[in-house]
Amino acid sequence: MKDADNVAAIARLEPDYMGLIFYDRSPRFAGGLPPEALGSLSPRTLRVGVFVNAARDYIAAQAVRYRLDLLQLHGDESPADCAWFKSGYGIIKAFGVQTAADFTATHRYEGLCDYFLFDTKSPQRGGSGEKFDHRLLKSYNSPTPFFLSGGIAPEDAANMAALCFPSCEALDVNSRFEVLPGVKNVAEVGRFIGAVRGL
């Protein structure tokens, strides 16, 4: 999310999480969004800041400025980076997954993250819109719950429910719901939330 009016419209749907990308190479970069634009969020909607190989002081500054609840580390951040922030914030560590063997990358982060996030592996570090191969999740046996990303589309609500993975904490909807990078189609997001919560 990066547009104040769009933030307010999505806020009325009361999503569980709202993400802001603080990676200046992304077309979804939220650095120009005034922090007061998040004032319309319900207390039940947690604020997630997404960072890619950012300096610790930059992450800390944005976390304070936007009153973030969780930090999503989407680059090559080390276990030590996750541990450094864990005392003050929930930590989501993202992993690009192409084969079942890619899940072994999570082992070094066990106990240092509240959640993992699984996305389709791509050079873009997410936001590619490429579908995640959900069959791979049968090979995931960690106790750490996960967010699922990777090309989730408005028509996928029933498919998501059919996956039946108890450790799946949240669905990360992004590019397939956009009218522009960082600007969501409010009606489609609303229908998806209603469908998933009603299943």
List the Cα angle 164/43/145 in 5-degree steps: 30
- The CATH code of the domain that includes 167 is 3.20.20.70
Confidence of residue 50 (pLDDT cuts 50, 70, 90): very high
Q: Which domain holds residue 169?
A: 4-198
Confidence of residue 198 (pLDDT cuts 50, 70, 90): confident
**Residue 124: per-residue pLDDT:** 60
Confidence of residue 159 (pLDDT cuts 50, 70, 90): confident
**Residue 94: per-residue pLDDT:** 96
**Residue 165: per-residue pLDDT:** 80
Give, for 186, the enclosing helix (H) or strand (E): helix 186-198
As for how many domains the chain has, the answer is 1
pLDDT, tens only, 19-42: 999 999 999 999 999 999 999 999
pLDDT, tens only, 118-152: 998 876 655 556 788 888 998 999 999 999 998 89
Enter the pTM of the model.
0.93
Confidence of residue 199 (pLDDT cuts 50, 70, 90): low
Name 120's bridge partners.
97
DSSP state of 25: T
- What is the C-alpha radius of gyration for the chain, rounded to an integer number of angstroms? 16
